[in-house]
């Protein structure tokens, strides 16, 4: 074989190998596997209330793209599996590629919120508890750390992003300072500051994750 032809073949083989490697799906991440129980709590999260039987409701996990709030843009990509002890497992590694394809630029419902970079792609996993055989909500579903009784949001960012914003109402200031340093999921909580103000920021993973179902606001 001519030396030039040999180099060409080797180059094509190397290129094919690089392309194959780039197409490989990311390795599953253990921190993307959520294990949680379902609890029925009062609106302030401090007391339990009469639970519904598991067959009376179903859990739904869609995504809100480019915002924290609003209606879901991406339907449920993966249903949770119910364990024999009544807890649930939700593997966010499954169908991750479908989530990435569904991401778009920020589209904030609250006009004072901003993302940097402005075209950052992110989404919030927005759990809901619905009637077993219908679409009506049976309560408000919220991620909660049972150790601290803290409400949580779960965000996925496809690249580093900083989400900020400030609003004032009723003598209270609410600030958003959510700094996500790398692609992946992060937990966000609204924590009280001095003077009664509140700040939404990235927090450590919950020690005891639960999905709390609280009464609907009516």
Residue 171 has a pLDDT of 87
Q: Within the chain, where are the H helices?
A: 3-22, 96-102
For residue 180, give the 3-state DSSP assignment. strand
Q: Where are the domains of the chain?
A: 29-214
Percent of the chain exceeding pLDDT 90 equals 81
* C-beta separation of 159 from 121 below 8 A: yes
184 in the Ramachandran plot: left (φ > 0), alpha (ψ -120 to 50) or beta? left
pTM of this structure: 0.85
Mean pLDDT in residue range 68-93: 93
Name the least confident of 8-12, 82-86, 199-203, 212-216. 8-12
Q: Quick one: the chain helix, strand, coil %, rounded to 5?
A: 15, 40, 40
pLDDT at 4 over 60: no
Residue 218 has a pLDDT of 54
pLDDT in tens, 47-68: 999 999 999 999 999 999 999 9
pLDDT at 26 over 90: no
pLDDT in tens, 86-133: 999 999 999 999 999 999 999 999 999 999 999 999 999 999 999 999
Residue 215 has a pLDDT of 95
pLDDT in tens, 122-164: 999 999 999 999 999 999 999 999 999 999 999 999 999 999 9
């Amino acid at each position: 074989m001519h030396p030039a032809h040999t180099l060409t073949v080797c180059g094509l083989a190397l290129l094919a190998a690089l392309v194959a490697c780039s197409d490989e799906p990311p390795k599953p991440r253990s921190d993307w596997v959520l294990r949680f129980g379902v609890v029925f709590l009062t609106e302030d999260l401090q007391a339990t209330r009469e639970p519904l039987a598991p067959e009376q409701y179903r859990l739904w996990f869609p995504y809100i793209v480019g915002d924290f709030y609003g209606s879901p843009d991406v339907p449920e990509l993966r249903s949770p599996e119910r364990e024999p002890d009544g807890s649930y497992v939700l593997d966010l590694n499954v169908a991750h590629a479908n989530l990435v394809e569904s991401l778009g630029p920020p589209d904030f419902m609250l006009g004072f919120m901003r993302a940097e970079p402005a075209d950052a792609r992110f989404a919030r996993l927005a759990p809901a508890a619905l009637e077993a055989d219908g679409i009506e909500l049976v309560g408000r579903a919220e991620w909660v750390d049972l150790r601290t009784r803290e409400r949580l949001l779960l965000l996925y960012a496809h690249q580093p992003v900083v989400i900020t914003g400030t609003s004032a109402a009723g003598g209270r200031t609410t600030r958003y300072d959510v700094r996500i340093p790398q692609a992946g999921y992060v937990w966000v909580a609204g924590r009280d500051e001095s003077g009664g103000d509140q700040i939404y920021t990235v927090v450590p993973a919950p020690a005891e994750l639960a999905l709390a179902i609280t009464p609907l606001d009516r």
